[in-house]
Amino acid sequence: MFAPFMLHAWIVATLVAISAGSVGFFVVARRASFAAHALPLGAFPGAAAASLLGVNELWGLAGFAVLGVLAIDQLQRAGRREVASALWLTGALALGMLLLSLSGRYAESVYGLLFGNLLGIDAAELALVGGCSVVMLVLLAVIARPLLLDSLSRELAAAAGARPSALELLFLGVLGIAAAIAVPVVGALLVFSLMVGPGSAARAFTNHPWSALALTVGISLLTIWSAIALAYVSNWPVGFFVGVAGILCYVVGRWRGGAAALAHSL
């Protein structure tokens, strides 16, 4: 499990968990599950396009994540947030499927991109993922405070001088970067599970936002480490374990939240 060929997988997974976990806290606070689901799926054709052009997968993923951010932001200004996400993600998936079918490498690459693939991460990609995570975390740290305020109360944030539309765009941008680096490891379909699951558990254990953020990252790390270990042992897809961990997190959070509310009322 800790053989040299697995080393890159462990390092990348750790970076992915830290970035996805910290964004996930805000995804839960802003109830942006659908956007968190649509952006990684929207990045899917990027990987197919990159393989057609013969460039690094991550550039394609990042490129399409940016396109997705702009498309969702533009479409949801019309006031229909859910429809915007739905149409962007199905359009992007259909395009990705066409590109993969034209490039002739169909079945196994589709499966890997949708449900995750641990192996085949080289040193160059590792550096790229590291760079992207640092950029993303710095950006998130800059906007964290106004973003949290905006998630809790739009009026308060506006009174404090924040511009909601600019904040939303920056948030989607951060989400897009986190999605692009997570897709090759966890798979486009299950990236959002890694964001939503830990966040939903963490909020039940603490009321303080920053400790909830730290707890989300911690649970996210735990999720992906155990998913990789289990996937390595069983040979089953990583995405399966991430999806199951997501619902476990939520159930634990609900149970704990329910117990706390009961104790409070007694």
Partner 1 sequence: MISGVGAGFISAFWSNGPVRVALAVGGGAAVVCAVVGLSTVMRRQSFAGHALADISGAGGSAAYLLGINPLLGFIGLAGLAAGVMEMAQVQEARERDLVTGVVLGAGLGLAALLLYLDVTLRSVSNAAISILFGSMFSIAPSIVPTVLTIAVIALAASVLVFRPLLVSSLSVDMARAQGVNVRTASLVHALALALAVALAAITVGAILATALLIGPAAAALQVARKPVSALVLAVAIGLGATWGGIVLAYDSFYWTLGHGWPVSFFIVMLIGGAYVLTSVLAHRDVGALTASPLSGCQER
Tokens of 16: 């992915």
Binding status of residue 89 toward partner 1 by CB under 8 A: yes
C-alpha angle 114-120-121 in degrees, rounded to nearest 5: 95
| 103-122 positions binding partner 1, by CB under 8 A | 106-107, 110-111, 114-116
Among 5, 31, 55, 164, binds partner 1 (CB under 8 A): 31
To the nearest whole angstrom, how small is the minimum distance from the Cβ of residue 212 to partner 1? 14
The dihedral sign for the CA sequence 157, 159, 161, 166? positive
Please give the distance of CA 184 from its chain centroid, rounded to a whole number.
11
Cα–Cα distance measured from residue 110 to residue 100, given in angstroms and rounded to the nearest whole number: 8
Binding status of residue 237 toward partner 1 by CB under 8 A: yes
Query: Residue 42 in contact with residue 84, Cβ under 8 Å?
Result: no
Stretch that binds partner 1, among 47-55, 132-140, 167-175, 239-247 (CB under 8 A): 239-247
**Residue 56, by phi and psi: left (phi above 0), alpha (psi -120 to 50) or beta?**
beta
**Residue 159, by phi and psi: left (phi above 0), alpha (psi -120 to 50) or beta?**
alpha
Among 12, 37, 173, 184, binds partner 1 (CB under 8 A): 37
Binding status of residue 216 toward partner 1 by CB under 8 A: no
Name the residues that contact partner 1, by CB under 8 A: 28, 31, 33-34, 36-37, 41, 78-83, 85-87, 89-91, 93-95, 97-98, 101-102, 106-107, 110-111, 114-116, 187, 189-190, 192-193, 196-197, 200, 236-237, 239-244, 246-247, 249-250
